[in-house]
Homo-oligomer: A and B are copies of this chain.
């Protein structure tokens, strides 16, 4: 029997899925998990995800940069916001980062009972798929959503992963079937497809016309990211 793949569409739905003994992939395409992949691929030593703005600020020092957002905008007093473009090699190489975001970082903490926690984004799609296929373990694709609401971009990404695992894994799951339908609809031009997402519309209202396209650059940061000892590191 092949190992299973499941999709958790929202943090509120996580209690329906037993994650013990499974590999959980955290997905927050716009933008936490994209930013994490970009920062680690550009040489950041580690990223410590924390829940609150206050906790993040308590780390601020010569050795830690503090990063993150609330409601899509950089939080006050932070060194960085939550756009992958801010995390260039020039500014991030060799640095430790503390990160808090509206959705994604909470999910990492919620998944602590998993066998292994990985980070997924379009930036590291292929390297993540290769790892999941080789590990031959049951996989849970955990979509962060937006304030617990199901969103289009995370579900679409979960569909891409599932499609890639269709030979190595199996499922009986309606959320998986839905996500696969989204991939079919989106695959000709996934960036254009996601302009329908409420998060893309939110970006537009905030004057951000860049990050959607940036976060859709497939395999731009081919780094496998694991959560280990309370830190996210390049594996």
A-side residues, CB < 8 A to B, are 9-10, 12-13, 15-16, 146-152, 155, 172-175, 177-178, 181-182, 184-185, 196-199, 201
Contacts and interface: CB of A to CB of B under 8 A. Distances in A.
For this chain, the copies found in one complex come to 2
Contacts of A12: 10, 12-13, 15-16
Contact of A148 (B16, B173, B197, B198): B16
B172 A201 contact: yes
Name the prevailing secondary structure of the A interface residues: helix
A147 B17 CA distance: 12
A152 B172 contact: no
Contacts of A172: 198, 201
Given A155-B178, A177-B196, A181-B185, 12 more contacts: A12-B12, A12-B13, A12-B16, A146-B174, A149-B174, A149-B175, A150-B174, A150-B178, A152-B177, A172-B198, A177-B197, A181-B182
Contact of A152 (B9, B150, B152, B178): B178
Which 10 A/B pairs are nearest by Cβ-Cβ distance? A152-B174, A151-B174, A181-B185, A177-B196, A12-B12, A172-B198, A174-B198, A150-B175, A16-B149, A152-B177
Nearest to A199: B174
A149 to B, nearest CB: 6
